[in-house]
């Protein structure tokens, strides 16, 4: 059986100005999926590009006093430079000004025209140049563009145009959506599109005569009148251009079309899930398998956009924190498909807690101990007796590593990038705790053969976790994964990019590799020195230092009902990587508590623990789950390390803390 194929696309970006972090988010997400599928052994085509035609571009070029082609050439150069900085591994970059794209657009126009589904008429309506969209008068809001991200003046336009007979295909479109429920994702976008079509589809204006910056209509016009193909009919065809249609590369087209997934922002889902599939139906071409409409990155509650001027320059963030740190933040912080908030403080928090502490500390501590106890050479694991405590710890870590790889694959195949990374970080958290539980510094005191076997097995297990993590973070942090790979002494076996996920299996660490010393991957950042990037909205002045807590009377303290509770069950709450839901035994009753400790504890390691809880708090609701109390924990000032308050000796559940 040959390789599976995977064809993924970004939207093609409009080069009216430099791109911002919202565009970077879309492209980084697609790059992570493309890299994952390559590592999974698939043959991948990853397409991106630029949408360079239209009235807005022509007017911007005229305002600058340069030809439109020169105007877009300059901006496209900055876009390609950004993708280099962000390590975007695209396979093709389509520009709509390329001859190959002109041929594709004109061919799909001819095919649909030949079927009688394109006709000429006169259009009169309201046109928004920034949105490149026609609107009916009833759709306007206070006489302006109804797009909530625009709301700018529209122009009354009357001209001869070609129209695409979309209304003819409304029933066929609805049947296709019913038969292919996964075509539009997430499901909320699907429901929105169904409602839109149920209101009635109108035929689509697909040509203009009032400007000439576009692809000519491939039909002879009497009197030499020139029509250019209107922007969406032009732009959407890029997905066919990129896979060699119609004649540039027939073998490539046969291999990769239909596309596996078009990833787009939710504001253009309508064009990709209604206009585009109907165009393909009319041209008798297969439809893509999935269109995924992701949410927006919002800044202070508003979508980032060039028109609002509230954009963040990703180049500055790459220079300041590294491309991998930014890529990780974008993939981990936002649940794919939902809106996500951006702030530089949140970015720094992720770098410190996840990258410097969880990942960086694990590697640094393991390397330092390996150098101290085994002169940098990673020892082979020994066969420990089944009842050996260290053996049981290692077996538990090995089991979790296997479960993590399986969960990671499942999530990545289902576009759950955020959840895939959360699984990796649970493994990192467990490995860091494993060090404290196994205590190699104590094992090293036992110089007997059995003692050396235990120590060697622990150090080998830690190196195995780090090796497996290098595989799993590669799609999101390719540079960091490469550095980890090199530190483990594995570069002689080829770069991490050339490995496959089948090798992310426990026990495949080669014997005798040398764990090299290196600088910290992600040095900690002092939040007090944080400087907001120039394009970002200035942060508020720092709050004054809190006053010392007021002294309490013993009567005030006695108002708190502190009890020892036993954790009966624990589970993650879907849609969040921080909250866990615990079922606890308080002796006389059982309760549920929701706690933000998932970055520090796995559900499995909590079961059976005797924790201290505040039992007389009013119930609260978190993510739709009722929390009947609060557990107690201690943390470092930066919240990088958290430790639950537990009972030192066994006591019955419900025992009061005095």
pLDDT at res. 367: 94
| Nearest residue to 314 via CA among 518, 533, 148 | 533
pLDDT at res. 19: 87
Same-fold call for 344-503 versus 554-644:
no
b/e per residue 621-644 (b: at least 16 CB within 10 A): eeeeeebbbebebeeeeeebeeeb
pLDDT, tens digit, 9 for 90 and up, residues 526-535: 877 665 433 3
Q: Which residues, other chains included, contact 332 with Cβ-Cβ below 8 Å and sequence gap of 6+?
A: 350, 354, 418, 421, 422, 425, 476, 577
Q: Which residues, other chains included, contact 532 with Cβ-Cβ below 8 Å and sequence gap of 6+?
A: 344, 538, 539
Q: What is the pTM of this model?
A: 0.77
| Nearest residue to 130 via CA among 14, 243, 9, 225 | 14
b/e per residue 364-399 (b: at least 16 CB within 10 A): bbbbebbeebbeeebbebbebeeebebbebbeebbe
pLDDT at res. 142: 86
How does DSSP classify residue 137? G
* CA–centroid distance for 539 within its chain: 25
SS3 15: coil
Transcribe 613-625 into DSSP letters: EETTSPPEEETTE
pLDDT at res. 44: 98
Contact 330, 295 (CB under 8 A): no
Spell out, as residue ranges, where the chain has pLDDT lower than 70. Answer: 1-2, 222-225, 300-310, 529-553, 555-557, 574-577, 599, 602, 604, 636-642
Q: 554-644 sits in which CATH class?
A: mainly beta
pLDDT at res. 2: 47
pLDDT at res. 538: 32
pLDDT at res. 336: 86
Cα separation, 396 vs 175, in Å, equals 49
Q: Which two tokens stand for residue 265?
A: 């922002």
Transcribe 265-282 into DSSP letters: EGGGHHIIIIIHHHHHHH
pLDDT at res. 530: 64
pLDDT, tens digit, 9 for 90 and up, residues 351-403: 999 999 999 999 999 999 999 999 999 999 999 988 899 999 999 999 999 99
* CATH-assigned architecture of domain 344-503: Orthogonal Bundle (1.10)
Residue extents of the structural domains in the chain: 5-294, 344-503, 554-644
pLDDT, tens digit, 9 for 90 and up, residues 204-247: 999 988 888 999 999 887 666 689 998 889 999 999 999 999 99
Cα separation, 377 vs 370, in Å, equals 7
Transcribe 393-428 into DSSP letters: HHHHHHHHHHHHHHHHHHHHHTT-HHHHHHHHHHHH
According to CATH, what is the number of the domain 5-294? 3.40.50.620
The angle subtended at Cα 20 by Cα 15 and Cα 25, nearest 5°, is 110
């Amino acid at each position: 059986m040959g390789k599976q194929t995977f064809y993924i696309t970004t939207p093609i970006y409009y080069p009216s100005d430099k791109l911002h972090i919202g565009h970077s988010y879309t492209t980084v997400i697609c790059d992570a999926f493309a890299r994952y599928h390559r590592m999974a052994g698939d043959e991948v085509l990853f397409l991106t590009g630029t949408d360079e035609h239209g009235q807005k571009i022509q007017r911007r070029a005229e305002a600058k006093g340069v030809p439109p082609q020169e105007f877009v050439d300059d901006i496209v150069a900055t876009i390609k430079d950004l993708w280099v900085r962000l390590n975007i591994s695209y396979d093709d970059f389509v520009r709509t000004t390329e001859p190959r794209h002109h041929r594709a657009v004109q061919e799909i126009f001819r095919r649909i025209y030949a079927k009688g589904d394109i006709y000429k008429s006169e259009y009169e309506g309201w046109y928004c140049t920034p949105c490149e969209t026609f609107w009916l008068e009833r759709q306007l809001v206070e006489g302006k563009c109804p797009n909530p991200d625009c709301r700018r003046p529209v122009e009354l336009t009357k001209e001869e145009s070609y129209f695409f007979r979309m209304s003819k295909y409304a029933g066929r479109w609805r049947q296709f959506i019913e038969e292919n429920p996964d075509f539009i994702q997430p499901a909320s976008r699907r429901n929105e599109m169904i409602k839109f079509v149920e209101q009635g589809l109108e035929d689509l204006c697909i040509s203009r005569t009032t400007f000439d910056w576009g692809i000519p209509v491939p039909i002879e016009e009497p009197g030499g009148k020139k029509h250019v193909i209107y922007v969406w009919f032009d732009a959407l065809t890029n997905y066919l251009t990129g896979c060699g249609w119609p004649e540039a590369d027939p073998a490539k087209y046969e291999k990769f079309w239909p596309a596996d997934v078009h990833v787009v922002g939710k504001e253009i889902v309508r064009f990709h899930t209604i206009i585009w599939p109907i165009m393909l139906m009319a041209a008798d071409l297969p439809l893509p398998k999935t269109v995924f409409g992701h949410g927006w990155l919002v800044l202070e509650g508003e979508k980032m956009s060039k028109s609002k001027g509230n954009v963040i320059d990703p180049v500055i963030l790459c220079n300041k924190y590294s491309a991998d740190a930014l890529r990780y933040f974008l993939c981990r912080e936002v649940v794919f498909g939902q809106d996500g908030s951006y702030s530089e403080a949140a970015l720094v928090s992720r770098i410190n807690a996840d990258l410097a502490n969880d990942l960086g500390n694990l590697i640094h501590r393991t390397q330092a101990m390996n150098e101290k106890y085994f002169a940098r050479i990673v020892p082979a694991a020994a066969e420990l007796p089944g009842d050996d405590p260290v053996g049981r710890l290692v077996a538990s870590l090995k089991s979790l590593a296997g479960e993590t790889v399986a969960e990671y694959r499942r999530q990545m195949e289902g576009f759950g990038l955020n959840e895939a990374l959360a699984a990796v970080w649970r493994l990192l958290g467990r490995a860091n705790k494993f060090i404290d539980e196994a205590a190699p510094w104590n094992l090293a005191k036992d110089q007997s053969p059995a003692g050396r076997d235990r120590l060697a097995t622990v150090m080998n297990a830690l190196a195995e976790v780090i090796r497996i993590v290098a595989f799993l973070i590669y799609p999101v942090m390719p540079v960091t994964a490469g550095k980890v790979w090199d530190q483990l002494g594995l570069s002689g076996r080829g770069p991490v990019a050339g490995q496959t996920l089948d090798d992310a299996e426990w026990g495949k660490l080669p014997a005798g590799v040398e764990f090299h010393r290196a600088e910290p991957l992600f040095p900690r950042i002092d939040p007090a020195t944080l400087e907001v990037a120039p394009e970002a909205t200035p942060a508020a002045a720092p709050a004054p230092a809190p006053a010392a807590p007021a002294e309490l009377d013993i009567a005030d303290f006695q108002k708190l009902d502190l009890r020892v509770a036993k954790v009966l069950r624990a589970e993650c709450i879907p849609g969040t990587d921080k909250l866990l839901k615990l079922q606890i035994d308080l002796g006389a009753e059982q309760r549920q508590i929701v706690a933000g400790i998932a970055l520090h504890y796995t559900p499995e390691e909590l079961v059976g623990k005797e924790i201290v809880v505040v039992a007389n708090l009013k119930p609260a609701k978190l993510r739709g789950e009722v929390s009947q109390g609060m557990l107690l924990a201690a943390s470092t000032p930066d919240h990088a390390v958290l430790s639950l308050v537990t009972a030192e000796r066994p006591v019955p559940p419900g025992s009061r803390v005095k």
